Structure 1
């Protein structure tokens, strides 16, 4: 009788441990399930489109007439004589141009600026991005970047592309759930939604965000910064025109 009682106690103990284990896993799954700032569908849409579509090569060529459009330490061939400069607001750090006398619905514009890389943004205090999410700490973000040897934006994108099909489930460790949640959430906060990414190699390294709303955002990586060239209206700024312009970039 005593032996039978011991067996029952062992079975009950095992069941309690199993319940505690799955209860803990279930809690973590809920805790690291992003339900407040970005819905599951929003995130799925964001990450499913995070595809490195192709690559392009920049082969620098000099502008014979030395006719450049300049901003800070950036120069690009001045194909913008039919554009006019928009007034800058106080503290604004970009040069914005818009095509003159164009229909509002098909307006074409171009601007260039200097910005932090996304990897450097992830190293900043997360509160700067308007999130007070207690599930994320600045230390967590730094550890993820270091653990996965992510030192620049392109390495970050390749990491994200590998991560895009990873889903947290009841069998995922709490540590993995936290890492997946942290990097996915913060990237979805600081990066725009896009259709795909084109990597740039050759004389400059960088990437192109093929954005929604008829836009392309080109980022050249140099000096620990992003040199950003934004093209609005891809009917006017065709791929051929953009690629040809990028070959004339000079960054001091």
Structure 2
């Protein structure tokens, strides 16, 4: 039986925790990328999201970001390798504390938003990011897109890399994600479910113009900040199960 990890970005709220949305998404996923307070989240939200993941047996990962609460971590920032190393360590330590208190531990780390894209192409930032992961816990897996400098840097440091693809985002003909705001960038529920099955079962994706591209993934991402995140998560999980694909954390 084929196997795929289904991850989702979680805990991306402030003050009044969005327990309803996250609680509805969590049963359908196998890994949670939990915001660490830089692009979203706060201590209480982190604590409650970790507890929810433990309740559902979902693998806990740190979703680390540039310090950009106002822009939800989606604005590129100039940052030195030394500052990024410290920033990643800071966020890992914060979330790991809540995981430890809940009787769990971190399993993976994933960059968010602009940092995800900056570490895809910038080797120096990718190396700083992975050095921080190694220095904190060399057992953590690093999640990034295939071809990312982050996966190359992880391999150099003998860290486990997980190739990520996106169930709910459209792809361009170069294999990259369509820019947000362009037609087809965000997929509807039925489209996302079909794309998830194609990637997991056939190592392929149909890009925006209709061509079929090879795309191999260890983990599929859903975005938890969508208004329909719970419905999307259930639809994708159901489609994968119906296709005979086992959904299980890649780090289990």
- TM-score, reference length from structure 2: 0.23
Q: Could you say which structure has the higher strand fraction?
A: 1
- TM-score, reference length from structure 1: 0.23
**Who wins on radius of gyration, i.e. which is larger?**
1
Of structures 1 and 2, the one scoring higher in RCO (CA 8 A, sep 6+) is 1
